Amino acid sequence: MKVRFLIPLGIFLLMTVLLGIGLTLNPRDVPSVLIGQKAPKLLLPDLFEPNKMVNSESLLGKVWLLNIWGTWCPECWREHEFLNYIASEEGVQMVGVNWRDDAEAAKKFLKDKGNPFIAVGFDPESVAIMDWGVYGAPETFVIDKKGVIRKKHTGPLYDSVWEKDLRPLIKQLEAE
């Protein structure tokens, strides 16, 4: 009789512990096997000039951010004003990738809301972005001068994330 009682109790306790562990995890902290690795080559048509290519190799020697976004993404709308701020006030170079979107909607969005990007690649079919391990939008990568991914942030960028995580890292990488 006691054994029949202990098995369900043991299962219940195990499930409670696993649930407790799961609740302490941050869903935005999605690990990436690409951290510390050379960034996959990014070669996409330019959103504004489709005959021109956005090529990540042209950014070697610079610290830059890659921001994955789409007009269909509410969080991308929320972070966009902050992206404009860090581009204009902090001088951060950013390349945007408009992902799974309509080109005309993306152009209108950037015209209306401001364009923080030095270049915008257009990837409606996820041709290039899958190599980066992107799960959704927005996602932002910090790339160092050697073309190595140093950080991945899943979700929108806000002041708190910028001040705590990204700005210090970018300053450090620029000093190297």
Going from N- to C-terminal start, the domains of the chain cover: 29-175
Where residue 100 falls (left for φ over 0; alpha for ψ -120 to 50; beta otherwise) is left
- Show the low-confidence residues of the chain (pLDDT under 50): none
Contact 106, 120 (CB under 8 A): yes
What predicted TM-score, i.e. pTM, was given to this entire model?
0.83
Q: What is the pLDDT of residue 23?
A: 63
Domain 29-175 has CATH 3.40.30.10: yes
Q: What is the pLDDT of residue 14?
A: 73
Instruction: Kindly give the pairing relationship between strand 149-154 and strand 139-143.
Output: antiparallel
Alpha-carbon span 145 to 174, nearest angstrom: 8
Q: Provide the residue type at 19 as one letter.
A: L
Alpha-carbon span 28 to 130, nearest angstrom: 18
Alpha-carbon span 150 to 144, nearest angstrom: 7
Who's near 138: CB < 8 A, 6+ residues apart?
A: 67, 68, 69, 73, 75, 76, 79, 155, 156, 157
Q: What is the pLDDT of residue 33?
A: 75
Q: What is the pLDDT of residue 30?
A: 55
Q: What is the pLDDT of residue 12?
A: 74
Alpha-carbon span 59 to 156, nearest angstrom: 23
